[in-house]
């Protein structure tokens, strides 16, 4: 595994290289910074391979930190590219990510003053972790098997952070490549990337797999997959408890609730409002909260 030095999102995702008699398969390719791509090439070279030996690229989802380097890679090679069907149009035209990242939400609650069209997530990532587009040649179908070298992976759908996020499970050695579903940092989630309910269900799906080794996209390898999955789930549930706790003092406007939950102002356009929206969607569906009003006056309160 090629582990990136940074761990703070949107740092480049880890890249998994699997060799076989024909060459190399990569699972994700990392950010679209040239130095990130050069480090990937260095890593391959230090293992006796060149980028031209890569015949297959599996993308866990169409986010910049996982597939930005496709721009450089596709200039040099034409590999098979695997993606979950719902991620295929996003990878082909990344401007569609504005929808799955929920960029309309801060505008809905009057959290931003800039013109709507200026809030472009691809622009936002340009300096941090540039995105590229890529056309898939093959689909990753949940429940099916994926053969890479000597390994047979079960394709497990794990939406929440991305609608078509996939984790890969190899039963023989108990390897679980969890992508962004489980890792050192709990990934952000938005209503149009699956939402909180789907995220929690995905974690339950991973928890029942007999995994022995967890390989996340962000962070290091863990030999306690069960604990890592449970820690992620608890983190999400604790956030829900915190929201309920804040609401116990009475009705609170969305923007105030969001600011109490996320102290760092850098998170107040993304992903703070999107994450809070996911929790409110879940709590409203369960009949626990009541929401209503427009923009700044949008109030959230507990059902009595
Ligand atoms: Zn991601
Ligand atoms: Zn990621």
| DSSP string for 283-300 | HHHTTSEEEE-SGGG-EE
- Note down the domain range covering 262: 249-302
Here the tokens at position 283 are: 């709590």
User: Ligand 1 center to residue 266 CA distance, Å?
Assistant: 18
* Ion ligand 2 — residues with CB < 5 Å: 13, 65, 180, 217
Name, in order, each residue with C-beta under 8 angstroms of 301's C-beta and a sequence gap of 6 or more: 247, 250, 251, 252, 289, 290, 291
* ∠ Cα 74 4 150 (to 5°): 65
- Ligand closest to CA 61: 1
Same domain, 108 and 194: yes
- Ligand closest to CA 194: 1
CATH code of the domain covering residue 88: 3.60.15.10
What pLDDT score was predicted for residue 242? 98
User: Ligand 2 center to residue 243 CA distance, Å?
Assistant: 25
Same domain, 273 and 133: no
Q: Which residue has the tokens 């972790």?
A: 129
Same domain, 272 and 197: no
From first CA to last CA, the distance across the chain in angstroms is 51
What pLDDT score was predicted for residue 6? 46
What pLDDT score was predicted for residue 118? 78
Instruction: State how many domains the chain has.
Output: 2
Please report whether residue 198 resides in a domain.
yes
User: Ligand 2 center to residue 121 CA distance, Å?
Assistant: 15
Please report whether residue 7 resides in a domain.
no
Please report whether residue 5 resides in a domain.
no
Give the residue from 233, 259, 290 where a domain finishes: 233
What pLDDT score was predicted for residue 115? 84
Residue 68 near residue 32, CB atoms below 8 Å = yes
User: Ligand 1 center to residue 40 CA distance, Å?
Assistant: 19
Strand residues in 77-211 grouped as ranges (E): 80-83, 138-139, 145-148, 151-157, 166-170, 175-179
Please report whether residue 292 resides in a domain.
yes
Same domain, 258 and 222: no
- DSSP H or E stretch at residue 235: helix 225-247
Here the tokens at position 151 are: 């390994």
Pairing of strands 138-139, 80-83: parallel
User: Ligand 2 center to residue 115 CA distance, Å?
Assistant: 28
- Ligand closest to CA 14: 2
Please report whether residue 240 resides in a domain.
no
User: Ligand 2 center to residue 303 CA distance, Å?
Assistant: 36
Same domain, 85 and 220: yes
Same domain, 55 and 198: yes
**HSE, side-chain direction, 13 A CA sphere, residue 229:** 27
- % of the chain with per-residue pLDDT over 70: 97
* ∠ Cα 180 87 224 (to 5°): 20
The total of other beta-carbon atoms located within 10 Å of residue 118's CB is 8
What pLDDT score was predicted for residue 44? 96
Give the residue from 233, 267, 292 where a domain finishes: 233
Please report whether residue 52 resides in a domain.
yes
Question: How far apart are alpha carbons 211 and 213 in whole angstroms?
Answer: 6
User: Ligand 1 center to residue 198 CA distance, Å?
Assistant: 15
Same domain, 224 and 257: no
Q: Which residue has the tokens 């990130």?
A: 36
CA 163 to chain centre: 9
Most distant CA pair in the chain, distance? 65
- Ligand closest to CA 218: 2
Same domain, 187 and 274: no
Residue 127 pLDDT > 60: yes
Please report whether residue 297 resides in a domain.
yes
Question: How far apart are alpha carbons 226 and 210 in whole angstroms?
Answer: 9
- Ligand closest to CA 4: 2
What pLDDT score was predicted for residue 10? 62
Q: How confident is the model at residue 294 (pLDDT cuts 50, 70, 90)?
A: confident
- Ligand closest to CA 101: 1
What's the whole-number mean pLDDT along residues 11-27? Answer: 94
Please report whether residue 242 resides in a domain.
no
- Ligand closest to CA 166: 1
Residue 96 pLDDT > 50: yes
Same domain, 196 and 157: yes
Residue 169 pLDDT > 50: yes
What pLDDT score was predicted for residue 304? 78
Q: How confident is the model at residue 121 (pLDDT cuts 50, 70, 90)?
A: confident
């Amino acid at each position: 595994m090629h582990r990136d030095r940074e761990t703070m999102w949107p740092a480049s995702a880890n890249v998994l290289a699997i060799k076989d008699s024909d060459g190399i398969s990569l699972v994700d390719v990392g950010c679209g910074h040239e130095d990130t791509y050069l480090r990937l090439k260095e890593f391959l070279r230090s293992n006796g391979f060149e980028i031209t030996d890569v015949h297959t690229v599996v993308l866990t989802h169409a986010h910049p930190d996982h597939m930005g380097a496709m721009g450089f890679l596709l200039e040099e090679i034409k590999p098979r590219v695997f993606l979950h069907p719902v991620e295929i149009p996003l990878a082909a035209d990344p401007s569609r990510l504005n929808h799955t990242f929920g960029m309309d939400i801060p505008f809905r609650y009057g959290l931003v003053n800039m013109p709507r069209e200026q809030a472009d997530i691809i622009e936002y990532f340009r300096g941090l972790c540039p995105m590229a587009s890529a056309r898939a040649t093959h689909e990753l179908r949940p429940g099916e098997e994926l053969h890479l070298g000597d390994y047979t992976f079960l394709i497990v759908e794990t939406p929440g952070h991305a609608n078509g996020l996939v984790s890969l499970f190899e039963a023989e050695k108990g390897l679980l490549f969890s992508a962004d579903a489980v890792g050192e940092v709990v990934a952000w989630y938005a209503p149009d990337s699956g939402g909180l309910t789907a995220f929690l269900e995905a974690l339950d799906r991973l928890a029942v797999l007999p995994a022995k080794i967890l390989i996340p996209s962000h962070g290091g390898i863990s030999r306690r997959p069960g604990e890592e999955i449970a820690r992620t789930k608890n983190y999400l549930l604790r956030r829900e408890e915190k929201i309920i706790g804040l609401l116990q003092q009475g009705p609170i406007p969305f923007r105030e609730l969001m600011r109490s939950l996320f102290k760092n102002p850098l998170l107040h356009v993304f992903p703070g409002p999107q994450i809070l929206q996911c929790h409110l969607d879940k709590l409203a569906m369960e009949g626990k909260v009541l929401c209503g009003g427009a923009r700044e006056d949008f109030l959230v309160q507990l059902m009595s």
